[in-house]
Amino acid sequence: MVLLGLATPLAAQMETRPMTHNGYSRPYLVYKPAHLTSPLAVVFMLGGVRSTAASTARDFGWIEMADRNGFIAVFPEPVATDPRLPLDRKTNVTFWELEGSRTHKLTPPMQQVDDDGYLLAVLHAVVQREHVGRQRVFFAGFSSGSGMVQLFASRHSDEVAGIAAGATPLMHPPAGLAQPVSVLYLHGDDDEQLSGFEVNCPHFATTPHGNWVTWGYLNGCHNQIASKTDWGIEFSWGNCRGGVSVVANFFSGLGHEWPGSLDSNWDLEHRPADPISFTKLAWRFFDSVGKRE
């Protein structure tokens, strides 16, 4: 009976873990597949404006990717524009606080929505509970989530091995990084959202094509390489500090989308022989980074 009990396979689990930060209830979702690989990796995924932890878990394909590759996927919860009111996808949308085009509507005695502190608390809770090493901690984000992922990694590079950011650049680069961090940047050259960031953020730091350059400088890289691809162009840095990778993929004809997500029509419109999945590209990047550490 003992042997039979030990042989019983574990089931995949989606767990809601409570978290209160600065007075706001922000439970996050943790997905653990039935089979975990070693060394264990964890990927935190942040959606864009109007997203929730639940919609991000559903829309971007990270659950399926975790099942195939044996890592843990985490989905943090953003806060609505006015936290006092019910969430509404038109009038009271969620977003990540980037000190730019959007700010939360707060009145005393409400405290600041501290997304940076919240994500750090979630990261520490997950790492401690799941015993994950820094070299296998990764963040991915789309749109508002992309800006937040980059801002978080630039401030806490000693906690994160790599990031994959889609459709929004780093708006507030620091003077330097505590530790080098690998970066995969994904952007479409028909992204209509970019002009809005430039207009609404007076301290906008970089254009999309300059974003990979910024990350190269932050990581102490030396050589720039450009190559054509079937879907556009890829830029990369070489000889970076700590051997990290800094890569930017630009997609011809792609708008403000995450190809492979439920909301993306890019593959349907272009009908490529090999459909593009940003989630697949991101995991391949993370897995290669983690194996080099």
**pLDDT tens readout for residues 39-69:** 999 999 999 999 999 999 999 999 999 999 9
Task: Sketch the domain layout of the chain as residue ranges.
Answer: 13-292
Share of the chain above pLDDT 70, in %: 89
125 pLDDT tier (thresholds 50, 70, 90): very high
Q: Which residue has the tokens 């799941």?
A: 130
CB distance 223 to 286 below 8 Å: no
Confidence of residue 159 (pLDDT cuts 50, 70, 90): very high
With beta carbons less than 8 A apart as the criterion, state whether 151 and 100 touch: no
pLDDT band for 3, please (50, 70, 90 cuts): very low
φ and ψ at 224, to 5 degrees?
A: -110, 135
125: left (phi over 0), alpha (psi -120 to 50) or beta: alpha
The confidence score (pLDDT) of residue 229 equals 93
Flag whether pLDDT at 95 surpasses 80.
yes
pLDDT of residue 1: 38
Instruction: Return the pLDDT at 4.
Output: 44
At residue 148, the pLDDT reads 96
Kindly report, residue by residue over 209-229, the tens digit of the pLDDT.
788 999 999 999 999 999 999
**Sorting pLDDT into bands at 50, 70 and 90, what band is 248?**
very high
Mean pLDDT estimate for the chain: 90
Tell me which fold the domain 13-292 belongs to. Rossmann fold (3.40.50)
User: pTM for the full model?
Assistant: 0.93
Sequence-distant (≥ 6) Cβ neighbours of residue 106 within 8 angstroms = 83, 112, 113
CB atoms within 10 A of CB 27: 14
pLDDT exceeds cutoff 70 at 36: yes
261-281 tens-digit pLDDT: 998 988 888 877 788 999 999
Please indicate whether residue 200 or residue 163 has the higher confidence score (pLDDT): 163
For residue 99, pLDDT over 90 is answered with no
In what helix (H) or strand (E) does residue 164 lie, and over which residues does it extend?
Answer: strand 162-166
Query: pLDDT band for position 293 (50/70/90)?
Result: low
Burial class (CB in 10 A: 0-12, 13-18, 19+), 43: buried
What's the confidence (pLDDT) of residue 189? 86
Report the pLDDT value the prediction gives residue 63, as an integer from 0 to 100. 98
pLDDT over 60 (residue 29): yes
Backbone torsions φ then ψ of 103, nearest 5 degrees: -135, 150
Give the H or E element holding residue 214: helix 208-218
